[in-house]
Structure 1
Amino acid sequence: MKKIILCALLGTLALNVHAFSQETHKRIVVDAVNYMAQNPSSTQYQKLSQYAQANNMSVASLAQLLGQAAFDVDDFEDTFFCGAITGDCVQAPLWGAAQSIVKYTSYWHFQNHTQGADVHGNDFGGYNWEKLTVWGSVDSIASTWLKGDYLDDGRGGETGWFRADDTEYNSYGITEANYRIDSHSTYSMYDDFEEMPFQPIDNLGQYWYQKYLQSGNPQILGFVFHTTDLLQPHHTWTTSDLNHASWESWVKDYYDAENLNNTQLVREALNSFSPLSDNAQDIRPLLTQGGAFSYAQGGIVLNSKDHYDRLNTAKLVIPHSIAMVVHLLNHAMVAR
């Protein structure tokens, strides 16, 4: 009965815990490539063009592929939570079954700037319900719905009552391990949702960037660009609520109408980042710059739905998102 009531409540909240919508993630990447094409002398556009040719595609097709990969990260089927009693493991809650609702994988897409270092040893941690400093009904209801639920750790690991074990994917041994870069974890950190210290999104970006450096695969490089979530204030203030869904929809609806990808604003935003050195292997310092910017500039959108409050923030964070991708593309073209 408790979960039936919670399901009804969440339905009324129109829950959507994407940061930027998937469409916006794709637009940001495409606009970053377009900026490079328009500014070949100040970017690594020539190397990007050669990279496209080496992969038997045009620059425009490469932009679409990279953008689609950034889009696709929200659809990863890599994170399952299991019922504390039933042992049944699922990748999304019942109230998240609608197509627009992200899966549990979205909990890896935060970098909490309201806290310092986390239990793993990261300079900034990820989503951790126990450590939230701002939250709303979605955060609170999710913590109730998932109370005691554990991260799937494969066959023979944690189970429900009477050793019930319907494991679907070893999320701890694969996903968490992938994102455990330069940090440490124990499974006891992940055996109760309300205490789980998820790895931050910059570790996700670093994992996929390492894979790109090893393979040169453009789809894998595109996965890195989902880290523009760091320019979404909800993901650095860290909450699944507080106008999260309506802000996302507003950005998508007004992206073109309000010229949020203004070239001059992107040019100015580029200068606000400290670029990575050509031989750097760790992109997380650049990513954290983006997170620090959104945390410092964007808090008002957690509490205001006013069009002009949102516009003022969007004219900061969208150009900075595009600029961050340009910096990452510049680096990617010279780092291999």
Structure 2
Amino acid sequence: MKKTLTLALLLPLFTMEAQAFSQETHKRIVIDAVNYMAQNPQTTQFSKLQQYASQHGMTLAQLANVLGQAAYDVDDFEDTFLCGAVTGDCVQAPLWGSAESIVKYTSYWHFQNHTQGADAHGNDFGGYNYDKLTVWGAIDTMAATWLKGDHLDDGKGGQTGWFGADDSKYNSYGITEAHYRIDSQSSYSMYKDFEKIPFQPIDNLGQYWYQSYLQSGQPQILGFVFHTTDLLQPHHTWTTSDLNHSSWESWVKDYYDQEKLNDTQLVKAAMANFSAVPSNSSDIRPLLTQGGAFSYAEGGIVLNSTDHYDRVQTGKQVIPHAIAMVVHLLNHAMVAR
């Protein structure tokens, strides 16, 4: 339920069912970040955030909702189609995906693999690449088997199934991959066989949308950036679609509020663990990589343990750091334009 926003009544701006690093928790984390700024106006760019809301004809609560909803919406992007090696038929999700947490192929852009070094594109850390995984499970293998030889939709770029079969839906290589190709290099040959595809990492996704925000100033565009809190989900930096991925998210959904994973004091402590983006820089990727390095270093136990205590300990580290990362991004966004 939405509550009236006053300086005396700032938490919560909204109450909602929380989910971990699935869509509704992406929204929740952003709203919690705005709440934190409202509670700490002297150490954040809260006044500028208020001005930004007013400039767009919104209350602060409405702005928080728009930003959070945009972070939520990134998982719904219809921008990534994989095409059958034989049929040439292009789809945006596997038939079995909803049962195995691979709802859409766009999610493969949401990883930053800290178990490996630089990738084929020249990024310091690559994204999802089945061929380069160091931890994986049955879901990863199922996807690689199901999609063996399938290619990324290149529009009418020439890649087809057998006998020229081509049911292109969207030029995912020429648009989506190109957007996320920031400061790196690609050739279409990298995207011809799913089991070897080096997807661009999520920090490049965040950088693309942040640059778009700097040009447009639009809240929804800025909100897209905040989907990069996936970097605080350990499965996204250890890089696997399996190994308790879904059960961890379900646990966080159930215990986000009960275990106070968004505790304000924990967020305040987490703020100090990030180096803020310099005001004269528009590159947010170093900050994002700090978030990824933290979840990789501190969160790996949830890949192998379902113990409640282990999950509480991890949740009370990665969720506050996710909120803190958004606060740092909002601070920079409010002074960068």
TM range (shorter): over 0.9
In 2: Cα distance, 1:199 partner to 1:21 partner: 20
Match for residue 292 of structure 2?
291
In 1: Cα distance, 2:176 partner to 2:224 partner: 14
In 2: Cα distance, 1:29 partner to 1:97 partner: 25
* 1:121 CA displacement: 0.3
Match for residue 84 of structure 1?
85
User: What is the TM-score normalised by the length of structure 1?
Assistant: 0.93
In 2: Cα distance, 1:154 partner to 1:258 partner: 47
Match for residue 9 of structure 1?
none
Query: Which runs of structure 2 are paired with 1:123-272 in the superposition (5 Å)?
Result: 123-272=124-273
Q: 2:302–2:311: 8 Å Cα contact kept in structure 1?
A: yes
In 1: Cα distance, 2:288 partner to 2:83 partner: 31
* 1:279 CA displacement: 1.4
With over 3 angstroms needed to count, the CA separation of the structure-2 counterparts of 1:156 and 1:264, relative to structure 1, is closer
* 1:99 CA displacement: 11
Counterpart AA for 1:239: T
Alignment deviations for residues 237-292 of structure 1 (CA, whole Å, 9 cap, x no partner): 00000000000111111111110100000000000101111111100000000000
With over 3 angstroms needed to count, the CA separation of the structure-2 counterparts of 1:261 and 1:303, relative to structure 1, is same
* 1:59 CA displacement: 0.5
With over 3 angstroms needed to count, the CA separation of the structure-2 counterparts of 1:239 and 1:19, relative to structure 1, is farther
* 1:96 CA displacement: 1.8
The more displaced of 283-292 and 273-282 is 273-282
Q: 2:100–2:139: 8 Å Cα contact kept in structure 1?
A: no
Match for residue 69 of structure 1?
70
Percent of aligned pairs with the same residue? 80
2:304 is equivalent to residue 303 of structure 1: yes
Query: Which runs of structure 2 are paired with 1:14-163 in the superposition (5 Å)?
Result: 20-97=21-98, 101-163=102-164
Q: 2:20–2:250: 8 Å Cα contact kept in structure 1?
A: no
In 2: Cα distance, 1:288 partner to 1:319 partner: 16
CA RMSD of aligned residues (A): 1.2
In 2: Cα distance, 1:281 partner to 1:310 partner: 35
In 2: Cα distance, 1:298 partner to 1:91 partner: 30
In 2: Cα distance, 1:125 partner to 1:263 partner: 32
With over 3 angstroms needed to count, the CA separation of the structure-2 counterparts of 1:240 and 1:19, relative to structure 1, is farther
- Structure 2 stretches lacking a partner, 5+ long: 1-18
Match for residue 329 of structure 1?
330
Q: 1:84–1:161: 8 Å Cα contact kept in structure 2?
A: yes
Aligned residue for 1:94, secondary structure, equals coil
* 1:98 CA displacement: 6.1
In 2: Cα distance, 1:302 partner to 1:330 partner: 32
With over 3 angstroms needed to count, the CA separation of the structure-2 counterparts of 1:133 and 1:98, relative to structure 1, is closer
Q: 1:19–1:234: 8 Å Cα contact kept in structure 2?
A: no
Alignment deviations for residues 285-332 of structure 1 (CA, whole Å, 9 cap, x no partner): 000000000000000000001111001000000000000000000000
Counterpart AA for 2:288: L
Q: 2:94–2:102: 8 Å Cα contact kept in structure 1?
A: no
User: What is the TM-score normalised by the length of structure 2?
Assistant: 0.93
With over 3 angstroms needed to count, the CA separation of the structure-2 counterparts of 1:183 and 1:317, relative to structure 1, is same
In 1: Cα distance, 2:309 partner to 2:73 partner: 30
Size of the aligned set, in residue pairs, is 319
Alignment deviations for residues 88-137 of structure 1 (CA, whole Å, 9 cap, x no partner): 00000011256975200000000000000001000000000000000000
In 2: Cα distance, 1:101 partner to 1:113 partner: 21
In 2: Cα distance, 1:274 partner to 1:75 partner: 31
In 1: Cα distance, 2:216 partner to 2:330 partner: 15
- Structure 1 stretches lacking a partner, 5+ long: 1-17
Match for residue 13 of structure 2?
none
In 2: Cα distance, 1:196 partner to 1:109 partner: 14
In 2: Cα distance, 1:261 partner to 1:91 partner: 33
* 1:198 CA displacement: 0.3
| Runs of 4+ deviating beyond 4 Å | 97-101
Aligned residue for 1:325, secondary structure, equals helix
Aligned residue for 2:96, secondary structure, equals helix
